[in-house]
Amino acid sequence: MALSAGDHGKDSANGLKEKVLTLDTMNPCVRRVEYAVRGPIVLRALELEQELQQGAKKPFTEVVRANIGDAHAMGQKPITFLRQVLALCVHPELLNSPQFPEDAKRRAQRVLQACGGHSLGAYSVSAGLPLVREDVARYIQQRDGGIPADPDNIFLSTGASDAIVTVLKLLVAGEGRGRTGVLIPIPQYPLYSAALAELNAVQVDYYLDEERAWALDVAELRRALRQARDHCCPRVLCVINPGNPTGQVQTRECIEAVIRFAFEERLFLMADEVYQDNVYAEGSRFHSFKKVLMEMGPPYTTQQELASFHSISKGYMGECGFRGGYVEVVNMDAAVQQQMQKLMSVRLCPPAPGQALLDVVVSPPAPSDPSFALFQEERQAVLAELAAKAKLTEQVFNQAPGIRCNPVQGAMYSFPRVELPPRAVRRAQELGLAPDMFFCLRLLEETGICVVPGSGFGQREGTYHFRMTILPPMEKLRPLLEKLSQFHAKFTCEFA
């Protein structure tokens, strides 16, 4: 049978073959993925940077990227000991150099001994170097006041993000009303909504209570779960503590209530704890889900399934470019854990430099080591400055009419609520933009300040927010906060 030109996939208009992969033929799940932290507003910020470099005249001299928790990009200096050990691991010839302290050399040699061919350039086993996993287990045990951790339940990953997606892959199943539902906090970190869209799972929103400093309320979890059961099968509950983008730190009572709820409703718990070092507010303390779970005793201790995540990207380290992290699983079915191992082996292994850095983070210099004093000093300086910046952010925003900012108890962001005049909302709708996106775009064009609209994280209908990192250096942060407040006042006047 003769084939017509059309059957060959030809576009008859110009005789060119149609591409195999088009927006119509590509994976529809990928098209649904959105990731606000690096979305359209950031692309525009990049364009503005290039325009400035080419000599274009703007009302500002630099673009300040306050959109992403990238500490080093914002000028934070690396912690000396972390980089010394890493430099020695990457270039072992430096082990003969008198410039490096003896404890850094010992640490690097220990890591290199654990690597294939004693080189960081070798693959590790898929779950990560056994030595590093043992050190992570020791760190967790120490952090949780002696509650044991098993290295076999620890998987190293390419940042926490990779581990979060891997665990979600194991959990997502079913069709139609049987599709897996995943409860996520709103506002959320857009990794969750993006991963759920990609995996074709059902996103189930539960709202944090802005009036109570973004508290997590079990009654709201119940409401979300009840409504979700009509159209999907909720199996997973995600909690981010300390919160991103909201900066709240959960109380111990709240964590216990969440664990009880997950147990009663048969939900797998995912605890995103990457900001565990970043707690600033007086009276706030980080409690790990694992510790609280183990202290609650049976049946919770022996039955409640939990995966908790940590990373070298945040904390005082801010080493996001090295992509190091881990997940610890608790009470996971042994056969499923083997499947998780298999899934990770397809990706070969997490980057070895990230594993080496993670090892130093979980086992920092001891008080008897020559590097201890400098390490402590640098670590405390970073955390003290972040605490001061958290307080300053809250104060400056709350002095501005029409901006309201909850205390930044932890993490690295503020998520202020802004009042936008009805005329501005209408103008945004005419342009086909979310009102807070319209506000943030105008802010960027007129001041060079790049923040992310709250609509990218989720927010209650009729409220408008933006997420801003508190990472810029103090000398840049105060003017930035003031400029932002002044812009809001001007914007409000313009659309009054």
* Distance of alpha carbon 130 from alpha carbon 1, whole angstroms: 62
Read off the pLDDT band of 485 (50, 70, 90): very high
Asked which of 61-75, 88-102, 413-427 is least confident by mean pLDDT, the reply is 61-75
In a domain, 93, yes or no: no
Same domain, 180 and 328: yes
399: Cβ contacts below 8 Å, ≥ 6 apart: 485
Same domain, 311 and 442: no
For 191, the domain range is: 123-362
- For position 38, what pLDDT does the model report? 63
pLDDT tens-place string over residues 352-363: 889 999 999 999
The answer on 472 and 352 residing in a single domain is no
Residues 150 and 206 in one domain: yes
Do 332 and 290 share a domain, yes or no?
yes
Per-residue pLDDT at 106 exceeds 50: yes
Q: 291 and 158 in one domain? A: yes
Indicate the residue among 306, 339, 362 that finishes a domain: 362
Inter-CA distances, 184 with 129, 225, 270, 392, 486, Å = 32, 11, 10, 29, 34
Single-letter amino acid code for the residue at 369: D
Q: Provide the CATH number for the domain around residue 485.
A: 3.90.1150.10
pLDDT tens figures, 129-162: 899 999 999 999 999 999 999 999 999 998 888 8
Domain assignment present for residue 215? The answer is yes
Q: In this structure, are 228 and 330 located in the same domain?
A: yes
CATH number at residue 242: 3.40.640.10
Q: How many domains does the chain have?
A: 2
Residues 344, 381 within the same domain: no
For residues 330 and 400, membership in a common domain is answered with no
Find out whether 434 and 478 touch, Cβ atoms under 8 Å.
Answer: no
Percent of the chain with pLDDT over 70: 96
Last residue of a domain, one of 362, 393, 413: 362
358 and 380 co-located in one domain = no
Task: Determine the average pLDDT of the residues in 405-414.
Answer: 90
Alpha carbon separation from 9 to 1, 20, 479 (Å, rounded): 16, 9, 58
> Which of 41-45, 122-126, 228-232, 262-266 comes out lowest in average pLDDT?
122-126
State whether 248 and 338 are in the same domain: yes
**Residue labelled with tokens 């991103």:** 244
Mean local confidence (pLDDT), 260-269: 96
Could you tell me if 329 and 454 lie in one domain?
Answer: no
Q: Give the whole-angstrom CA distance, residue 343 versus residue 302.
A: 25
Q: 481 lies in a domain?
A: yes
pTM of the complete model: 0.88
> Tokens at residue 331, please?
């009470």
pLDDT value at residue 207: 94
| pLDDT (mean) for 34-39 | 64
| Domain closes at, from 335, 362, 389 | 362
